[in-house]
């Protein structure tokens, strides 16, 4: 049903744009898009260009691997790491180094605070809308929700670590002699 609605929107919207096709981001998971079946290698209309317009400001790749996150933690790459777990979870399980704890329920208001208020309440530097932000949690579910919230607030370069704390601990234990 959702695909049918997306394609109807695409069909109606494409009438307003000359020689273009619109594929809404919600039709396909995690920012991936697929060309429709009528677009193939033997193009009948070589002068026609296919223009894909996305309805989301989210980048195509929002996932960060363990290696990429490790580079951020080691200071090789610059990014703000925000852990969206509850404080008791960090006390019980631990946290990724250099991460700032902002519980998921507070993300919406925290990202709207002044820099001084954010620093006072969360003990870290307030990320700017142009900063690279990486959200983490226990297993990657809450961090994806935080990513969507930050994107809706106008943050441009947001990512999440889908493996979460569980993968981090496993990889750190493997890498420790």
Beta bridge partners of 158: 133
Provide the annotated active-site residues.
137
Burial class of residue 66 in the structure, from the number of CB atoms within 10 Å of its CB (0-12 exposed, 13-18 middle, 19+ buried): middle
8 Å CB contact between 166 and 139: yes
């Amino acid at each position: 049903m959702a695909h049918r609605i997306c394609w109807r929107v695409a069909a109606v919207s494409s009438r307003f744009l000359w020689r273009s096709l619109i594929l809404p981001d919600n039709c396909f998971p995690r920012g991936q898009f697929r060309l429709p079946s009528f677009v193939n290698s033997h193009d009948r209309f070589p002068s026609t260009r296919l223009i894909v317009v996305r309805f989301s400001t989210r980048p195509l790749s929002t996932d960060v691997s363990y290696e990429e996150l490790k580079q951020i933690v080691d200071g090789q790459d610059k990014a703000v790491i925000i852990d969206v777990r509850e404080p008791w979870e960090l006390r019980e399980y631990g946290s990724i180094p250099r991460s700032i704890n902002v519980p998921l329920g507070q993300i919406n208001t925290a990202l709207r605070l002044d820099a001084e208020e954010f620093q006072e309440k969360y003990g870290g530097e307030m990320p700017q809308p142009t900063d690279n932000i990486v959200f983490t949690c226990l297993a990657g579910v809450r961090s994806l929700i935080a990513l969507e919230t930050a994107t809706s607030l106008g943050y441009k370069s947001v990512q999440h670590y889908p493996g979460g704390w569980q993968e981090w601990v496993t990889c750190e234990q493997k890498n420790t002699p």
